[in-house]
Amino acid sequence: MLMRTDPFREFDRLAQQVFGPTRPAAMPMDAYRSGDEFVVHFDLPGIDPETIELDVERNVLNVRAERRGPAPEGAELIVAERPTGSFTRQLFLGDTLDADRVDASYDAGVLTLRIPVAEAAKPRRIQITGGDSRKQLSS
């Protein structure tokens, strides 16, 4: 059985109930480029995938997820250290990314987004013609 032993934790809990959370809930992320796509990982352990919302508006990607409390209604909560509620994060996507083709997956508490580089932003080879080719075209 779990016992409450820290009296200050009880004050923190009361302050959160009265004044709301003192800081926004964290949604840690890693991001990197791999070839022709950017990959972003968000840590969202214990999140029901049905509560995850993704939307893109004017190159701003919004991620929202919700974690509900584990105790059923009417149960006496003994310890509540894991954050609950809504988690949000915004990513500002550059014009070089294709925001229309974002791919999202959720596995083992990690939300993974794959954002391809836009075709117009990919490097391309430009062929150079020499002086001899002009002479051949004009004759």
Measured distance CA(11)–CA(84) in Å, rounded: 18
Along the 139 residues of the chain, how does pLDDT read in single tens digits? Answer: 444 455 666 666 666 667 665 555 578 999 999 999 999 999 999 899 999 999 999 888 999 999 888 888 889 888 878 888 888 999 998 888 888 899 999 999 999 999 998 877 667 788 888 876 555 554 4
The β-bridge partners of 57 are: 60
Query: Rg (Cα) of the chain, in Å, rounded?
Result: 25
Which of 124, 112, 117 lies closest to 49 in space, CA to CA? Answer: 112
Q: How many CB atoms lie within 10 A of CB 89?
A: 18
Q: What is the pLDDT of residue 106?
A: 96
Is the pTM of the predicted complex or chain greater than 0.75?
Answer: no
Which of 136, 5, 43, 9 lies closest to 52 in space, CA to CA? Answer: 43
